[in-house]
Amino acid sequence: MENKSNILWVDDEIDLLKSNIMFLKQKGYNVTEATNGEDAIQIIKDQDFDIVFMDEMMTGMGGLETLLEIKEIKPSLPVVMVTKNETESLMEDAIGKKITDYLIKPVNPNQVLLVCKKILESKRLKGDQISRDYIQEFNSISTALMEDLSWEDWTNIHIKMTNWDLELDEHPELGLKQTLQDQRRECNVEFSKFIEKNYKHWLDYSEDNPTLSHQIIDKYVIPDLPKYNSVFFFVVDCMRLDQWLVMEKYLDSYFKMSKEYYYSLLPTATPYCRNAIFAGLYPSELEKHYPELWRQNDDDENSKNNYEKEFLSKLLDRRKFRLRNELKYTKIMDSEFSRGVENKILSYTNNHLNAIVINFVDMIAHSRSDTAILKEIAPDESAYRSLTQSWFEHSSFFGMLRQLAGKPDVKIIITTDHGSIRCLHGVRALGDRESSPNLRYKYGRNVKADSRNAIFIKNPTEYKLPLRNGIVNYIIAKEDFYFVYPTDYHKYLNQYNDTFQHGGISMEEMILPVISLESK
């Protein structure tokens, strides 16, 4: 296939390179010649090129000097230095001035062609391979959906699809993102059926069941307390697996890292999941044993998690584990306080156990729902990941982790209480004025919704949910549905469409990472 890429070759002995130039033209490249740096700079100002081959030693303006001028004009233009000089210092100097590659004279046509393909066609060639690999994976997942899948199978499907999300973020030109999005929705349809069939059985303790929210401390935190001088347990509110993966790449150079997965309790909302994490109890057990802390009559979600430190202390007491000093619990809700914690994080290493809740990812999700500019900045999942990445790169959270990386006697565990899903389909819900206002789950005297779009829980005890004086039932949304009451239905349908919400049943909300970090 003819190649339309434009090449500029700059050499004061250009006649000696005719065989290479003819070869490139035969391969379909358009090649322009220049015999000195001054002419090359003027040509680059007047024409567009895809790559420049340039002699390092030329009469007049030398190669490195010309390189600097080119980078001033077109910083992203690839430049390949062609030189007789193999000295290390020259190569370091050229690389420091941002050459893309270099060749040692004498060069042969195949060497030049290989460099052209590597620089100009690598993205296309990689894209072709990615397309083939994705189609194969797509077919594999589609076939798997027809089988009787286990929770381990669903975890693997979610991991694979999330990795493909990130891979296709790098190659939007392939046009596969809608296909992946459609398949993810198909998967969530089947995943919701799987949860509806199996979830209640998981609530009876068994080694064959997945780890659930209330088992996190017992499985991942308490076993490490005797082994380390200080353990940091970070809970990042509302963090999806894809959001963690864009953060994770910043930590590779600092930590030895391992990752496992657990399933969030239902509803996938902070009052239920995060309290369960810190207490090591189901929500129904919290209501029964600690009614004064559960505050069952208080429907304000923000105040539902005011007692996480107390819950964790009581869990450690029940396990008869005595810390060397008082438990340190910190909840980070704003940037100023976060910077203060970052500045003194090394002093926290004197504490045996530090539990730190970080709310910024949850705030991003809610702010996107309420702020037009954030929805413009993050119109889809790919941009939402990018927004998360930008936050993390400049965050106090990353600053804390970097400082802790230099402490070999410190163990870090990072997890989340639930994820979120981009809600694109509204469904009518019925209930009286006392019913809860949540978009992905509701409880009340007679809340109802279409069974195709929601799980109806008549007996909360079966799902280890609070009885709330025995007069309520629950509905929990499946897939990417959100509940809208009939009153002003279309107003609220439009208001909450395309917002990130949590509380329901989806892979994004339920299948969550637990990450262990140790200093390298």
130 vs 174: CA distance, rounded Å: 9
Strand order from edge to edge, sheet including 454-457: 441-444, 473-477, 454-457
Q: Are 273 and 213 in contact (CB under 8 A)?
A: yes
CA–CA distance from 363 to each of 87, 236, 481 (Å)? 54, 11, 21
Label residue 348 by pLDDT band (50, 70, 90). very high
Quickly list H helices, 344-377. 360-370, 372-377
For 55-76, the pLDDT digits (tens) are 988 888 888 889 889 988 998 8
pLDDT of residue 158: 97
List, in order, residues 6 or more apart from 104 with CB less than 8 Å away: 83, 84, 86
101 vs 297: CA distance, rounded Å: 67
DSSP element (H, E) containing 288: helix 283-289
For 6-21, the pLDDT digits (tens) are 999 999 999 999 999 9
Buried b or exposed e, range 38-54, using 16+ CB within 10 angstroms: ebbbebbeeeebbbbbb
pLDDT of residue 291: 84
The percent of residues above 70 in pLDDT, for the chain, comes to 95
Q: Is the pLDDT of residue 114 over 80?
A: yes
Q: What is the 3-state secondary structure (H, E, C) of 50-67?
A: CEEEEECCCCCCCHHHHH
- In terms of Cβ atoms closer than 10 Å to its own Cβ (0-12, 13-18, 19+), residue 365 is buried
Q: Is the pLDDT of residue 431 over 50?
A: yes
For 145-173, the pLDDT digits (tens) are 999 999 999 999 999 999 999 999 988 88
pLDDT of residue 92: 62
Q: Residue 384's closest CA among 422, 410, 350?
A: 422
Q: Is the pLDDT of residue 47 over 80?
A: yes
Least confident of 82-86, 340-344, 479-483: 82-86
12 vs 269: CA distance, rounded Å: 69
CA 513 to chain CA mean position, Å: 11
Looking only at the bridges linking them, the beta strands covering 410-415 and 230-236 are parallel
Label residue 94 by pLDDT band (50, 70, 90). low
Q: Are 482 and 415 in contact (CB under 8 A)?
A: no
Label residue 296 by pLDDT band (50, 70, 90). very low
Label residue 469 by pLDDT band (50, 70, 90). confident
CA–CA distance from 120 to each of 18, 76, 148 (Å)? 21, 13, 45
For 353-396, the pLDDT digits (tens) are 999 999 999 988 888 877 888 888 888 999 999 999 999 999 99
Averaged over 302-319, what is the pLDDT?
88
For 223-257, the pLDDT digits (tens) are 999 999 999 999 999 999 999 999 999 999 999 99
Backbone CA torsion sign across 108, 114, 115, 120: positive
Quickly list H helices, 63-176. 63-73, 88-96, 109-116, 122-144, 151-169
Token pair for residue 48?
């567009």
Q: Is the pLDDT of residue 2 over 60?
A: no
**Mean per-residue pLDDT over the chain, rounded:** 91
Domain 6-107 has CATH 2.40.50.140: no
Label residue 91 by pLDDT band (50, 70, 90). low
Q: What is the dihedral of CA 327, 331, 336, 340, to 10 degrees?
A: 10
pLDDT of residue 294: 73
Residue 357, amino acid:
V
Greater confidence (178 vs 122) lies with 178
Label residue 52 by pLDDT band (50, 70, 90). very high
Q: Are 221 and 144 in contact (CB under 8 A)?
A: no
Quickly list H helices, 203-282. 216, 241-248, 270-279
Q: Are 267 and 474 in contact (CB under 8 A)?
A: yes
pLDDT of residue 93: 60
Backbone CA torsion sign across 398, 399, 405, 409: negative
pLDDT of residue 3: 53
Q: Are 370 and 243 in contact (CB under 8 A)?
A: no
Phi, psi of 380 (to 5 degrees): -150, -175
List, in order, residues 6 or more apart from 67 with CB less than 8 Å away: 54, 79, 81, 94, 97, 98, 99
- Common-topology check for domains 6-107 and 213-421+509-519: no
pLDDT of residue 1: 40
Angle at 268 between CA 264 and CA 274, to 5 degrees: 70
Q: Is the pLDDT of residue 202 over 70?
A: yes
Phi, psi of 106 (to 5 degrees): -80, 145
Q: Is the pLDDT of residue 209 over 70?
A: yes
The full set of domain ranges for the chain reads 6-107, 128-202, 213-421+509-519, 425-497
Token pair for residue 50?
């895809």
Q: Is the pLDDT of residue 303 over 80?
A: no
Cis peptide before 271 (omega within 30 of 0): no
CA atoms within 13 A on the CB side of 312: 25
Strand order from edge to edge, sheet including 51-55: 30-34, 6-10, 51-55, 79-83, 101-104
pLDDT of residue 86: 62
Would you state the CATH architecture of domain 213-421+509-519? Answer: 3-Layer(aba) Sandwich (3.40)
